[in-house]
Amino acid sequence: MKPFFFISMFIIYVAANGYVLARIFKNVLNGFPMLKAACALLFGIMISCLVIFFAIRGIEMPIQLQKIIYICGTSWLIVILFASITFALFDIAKLVMPSFKYGTLCAICLTTFILALGYKNYQKPEVCRIDIQTEKTLSSPVRVVAVSDVHLGVGTNKAILKKYVNMINAEQPDLIIIAGDLIDNSVDPLFKQNMQEELSCLKAPLGIFMAPGNHEYISNIDSCKKFTDQTPIKMLRDSIVRLDCNINIICRDDKHNRNRQSLEELVQYVDKDAVSILLDHQPFDVAKKDSLGIDIQFSGHTHRGQVWPISLITDALFEQSHGYRKWKNSHVYVSSGLSIWGAPFRIGTNSDMAVFTISGK
């Protein structure tokens, strides 16, 4: 099923490139054969970049070269998505108003404007502050910073990580939780940039706990564990940690592990009188988890599609695709990610970090 899906998506992607290229040939480069050849070559290179990046993963090469290939390949996906949408809109306008002559130029300008706004929006993650009142006993309120989907690697590099570490520390958290996908596609860029040094600057007296995501498995889960072991982060799979402040942290393994324990099995070992915080990367079956009496669930994974109109798909796929919601028993927050996967654009969505202030009796 997965190979068929990816092949189908690639065919659609190539067809969208062909549509945009044909419009540029006809309305911009008509009569300039050399420019047409150069433009076609550029499109071919950009289409190939993403395939090349995954093909060379694990091969020794300079970080900057990997970054150029990665950013070009993933950014071109977004460029063609919005170029094909805007070109189609102005083609429809041409049918309604046959005298309209500048559709291609307008489409190029509008696409550029949307991408510029999306890049600017990506630079400013939201900080969502939520007060959570529980019926459990806590001697004092606990301040929790919750992040997901940082995707450290050639895209989210050490300089960007430093900005995120400063954001987190500025909140003066008692506890830091990470709901997976801390790492993008490989740990090699993290070791090469000594990102463990930056992560070691995180400060939280109650600890830093992480559940793995699908990208930890893509990056080799054992290698990721070796990396996090060099930081204050405790990456746990199907494990429960009882904190002295009367909080249970439940770190569930990702769906990539088909042998992971069911949540029903895990919660058997939870102290019912303590506040339970579930870290589960992929926010499936939220209503079912709510019925198990979890006090707080924190997930990520969706990115809320990262850009519109893909956000419409994630909103349809998940019971809760992003943000905060109080269910019957559970306070659930699904992060759209502190960072992004691939292209540095946020269009119609926002990067975010959650700050919970948990109070008890």
What global pTM score does this model have?
0.94
End-to-end CA distance of the chain: 50
Query: Does residue 136 sit in the same domain as residue 250?
Result: yes
Average pLDDT, the chain: 95
Closest CA to 151 of 284, 336, 355, 5: 336
Query: Does residue 184 sit in the same domain as residue 290?
Result: yes
* Cβ–Cβ under 8 Å, residues 225 and 193: no
Query: Does residue 346 sit in the same domain as residue 273?
Result: yes
Range of the domain at 211: 126-359
**3-state DSSP helix/strand/coil % of the chain, to nearest 5:** 45, 20, 40
Query: Does residue 103 sit in the same domain as residue 139?
Result: no
Query: Does residue 12 sit in the same domain as residue 98?
Result: yes
Give the mean pLDDT per block of 10 residues along the chain (361 residues). 80 96 93 95 95 81 90 96 96 90 92 97 97 95 98 96 98 98 95 97 98 97 97 97 96 95 92 96 94 96 97 96 96 98 96 97 84
Distance CA 299, CA 320 (A): 10
The number of domains in the chain is: 2
* Cβ–Cβ under 8 Å, residues 76 and 50: yes
Which pLDDT tens digit goes with each residue over 25-82? 999 999 899 999 999 999 999 999 988 988 887 678 888 899 999 999 999 999 999 9
Choose the final residue of a domain: 122, 144, 169: 122
Query: Does residue 241 sit in the same domain as residue 307?
Result: yes
Query: Does residue 171 sit in the same domain as residue 227?
Result: yes
Query: Does residue 248 sit in the same domain as residue 344?
Result: yes
Choose the final residue of a domain: 95, 122, 149: 122
Residue 284: which CATH number? Answer: 3.60.21.10
Per-residue tokens: 207: 């600890």
Query: Does residue 131 sit in the same domain as residue 184?
Result: yes
Which pLDDT tens digit goes with each residue over 98-122? 888 889 999 999 999 999 999 999 9
